[in-house]
Amino acid sequence: MRHVLSWNSIRFRLSALLTITIAILGLIFGGLSDYLIGKELDEGLKFFAHHEAQEVALVASNYSTANAINKHRVKFDTIFPEKNVLSLEVWNLSGDRVLHLADEGFTPLPRWKTGISLAAKGEFPYEDFYHSNRPVCRAAQIIDGPNRVKWITVAVIDRTSAQNTLYEHRKNFLIGLLSAVFLSFIMSWFLLTFALAPVQQMVKDARLIKKEGPGRRLAVPRQGSELEQLSHLLNTMLEKMEMSFEQLKRFTAHVGHELRTPLARMRGEAELALTIGDPEKANETIASMLEDITDLSRVIDALLELAIEDKALHETEDIDLLSLITELSEESKVLAEEKEQTIHSELCENSLYVKGNKSLLARALWNLLTNAIKYAPKQSQIDIQSVALEKTIKVTVRNKFEETELLNLETLFEPFVRGSQGQSGKIPGYGLGLALTRSIIKRHQGQLDVQTQGEDNILFTITLPRNDV
């Protein structure tokens, strides 16, 4: 639970951010609504205060003297007392109070000099303030009486009710906002828990894979889920990792087997050389050991080349690929003649250039040619062909094969994997040539593929990017 409530938890962080967002939006809305409601209440009080002042003025306008107004004081009983009205006053232009009607317990206010002065000029002054710790407001206005006598009326209104309304709104809004914030956190928590359920399932599956080892896969969410593609990708990665581990295990086993045999033979020959009394036979044994050492050196060199297959080429140059193929095919004819084989070339007329390491490419092409010569039957033909495409060059090597049982073609590129004749010992080798060839082609941003044609032909295709376009 401690981990779940940590800020590092996606569920907690998203829930908190959503809640904070709702709280901020709520405060903005609350501040705006408080401003609008307060402004509306103020406008209402202002209108009410001027309305009451006008009512007094309309009654006072019927009288031309102060005595007449006080004599008919009963006329004002129709407009006072009234709810929230604290006092009504009538003043003359000389600044004398002619009439004062006040609510019980309300202390009369002193002369409102500024308001009476502005009202005398025909304006409608208004102000709100506190009087004896009570929020009040007042408004003044002028009106003509008989014989153009002007009276100024002042109405004092209690703002307590309006202020309480505003406070009540603020209190209810804050309670509602806190409730909304709390509920939004709870709802977002449960919604995110539901939304992240596939992720939790993937975590459980990953733990099972860690515990039980390879073979298991992550559960794929329902179609349309955003995590569907991720689960497929992770399952593909797991599959490739398992394949890589299996290849590594096979590779390690093959290396151990292939190196143990010549080492055991060399050890036997060395022990034999120590026991032989004849120097001539001892020299023959040592010469045989040197041949085995040379073979082992070649194997180790090939393994080192495979180990750096993903590294970029450091020394590169423009290579005329067709000239290189022509040169290698001429050299390979010497080997082909031993098996009465013919090498037939169909190459492009114009030179085609690639970027790379000439010695490595020569080694890759030579491996394909010697592999074809080695596995093709006697008196057969080996075809070499080049095709120039818009951005690439394709080079194919085709030969017949005598395999009674051809292995999975892709496994031919794995180190120490050989055809049935190679496995039976009829054809010498270690099964590193094709693996090294594919490694070299990959380092040149190319591709090496293999396929069968008909019942007894096998075709290797090299695709390399052109450097002359």
User: Higher model confidence: residue 291 or residue 460?
Assistant: 460
Residue 150's H or E segment, with its range, is strand 150-158
Measure the CA–CA gap between 120 and 117, rounded to whole angstroms: 5
Residues 158-176: what's their mean pLDDT? 93
What is the structure's pLDDT at 172?
93
% pLDDT > 70, the chain: 82
Residue 406: which CATH number?
3.30.565.10
**Is residue 278 located within the same domain as residue 354?**
no
Measure the CA–CA gap between 319 and 352, rounded to whole angstroms: 8
**Is residue 253 located within the same domain as residue 333?**
no
Measure the CA–CA gap between 362 and 356, rounded to whole angstroms: 11
> How open is the CA angle 104-109-114, to the nearest 5 degrees?
150
**Is residue 274 located within the same domain as residue 337?**
no
**Which residue range forms the structural domain that includes residue 125?**
10-166
Average pLDDT, the chain: 81
**Is residue 369 located within the same domain as residue 431?**
yes
Q: Look-up: residue for tokens 């086993």?
A: 253
Note whether residue 246 is domain-resident: yes
| Residue 358 contacts residue 425 (beta carbons within 8 Å) | no
Q: How many angstroms separate the Cα of 20 from the Cα of each of 16, 32, 184, 330?
A: 6, 18, 10, 79
| 44 has pLDDT over 90 | yes
Measure the CA–CA gap between 289 and 460, rounded to whole angstroms: 35
Q: Give 170's pLDDT tier (boundaries 50, 70, 90).
A: very high
Note whether residue 371 is domain-resident: yes
Q: Where are the alpha helices (DSSP H) in 121-196?
A: 160-195
User: Higher model confidence: residue 18 or residue 306?
Assistant: 18
Q: What domain count does the chain have?
A: 3
Structure tokens at 362: 């020569």
What is the structure's pLDDT at 359?
82
Residues 274-299: what's their mean pLDDT? 73
Cβ-defined contacts of 171-177 (< 8 Å, 24+): 173/30, 173/33, 173/34, 174/30, 177/23, 177/26, 177/27, 177/30
| 167 has pLDDT over 90 | yes
Measure the CA–CA gap between 382 and 376, rounded to whole angstroms: 8
Measure the CA–CA gap between 144 and 122, rounded to whole angstroms: 11
**Is residue 294 located within the same domain as residue 233?**
yes
Asked whether the bond before 214 is cis by omega within 30 degrees of 0, the reply is: no
pLDDT (tens digit, 9 = 90+) per residue, 237-269?
A: 877 777 777 766 766 665 665 566 667 777 777
% pLDDT > 90, the chain: 23
| pTM for this predicted structure | 0.50
What is the structure's pLDDT at 415?
62
What is the structure's pLDDT at 460?
92
Note whether residue 188 is domain-resident: no
pLDDT (tens digit, 9 = 90+) per residue, 432-449?
A: 778 778 888 888 889 999
Residue 35: which CATH number?
3.30.450.20
**Is residue 239 located within the same domain as residue 334?**
no
DSSP 3-state assignment of 422? helix
**Is residue 130 located within the same domain as residue 253?**
no
Note whether residue 29 is domain-resident: yes
Residues 225-231: what's their mean pLDDT? 73
**Is residue 161 located within the same domain as residue 20?**
yes
At residue 167, what are phi and psi to the nearest 5 degrees?
Answer: -65, -40
What is the structure's pLDDT at 65?
86
**Is residue 302 located within the same domain as residue 329?**
no
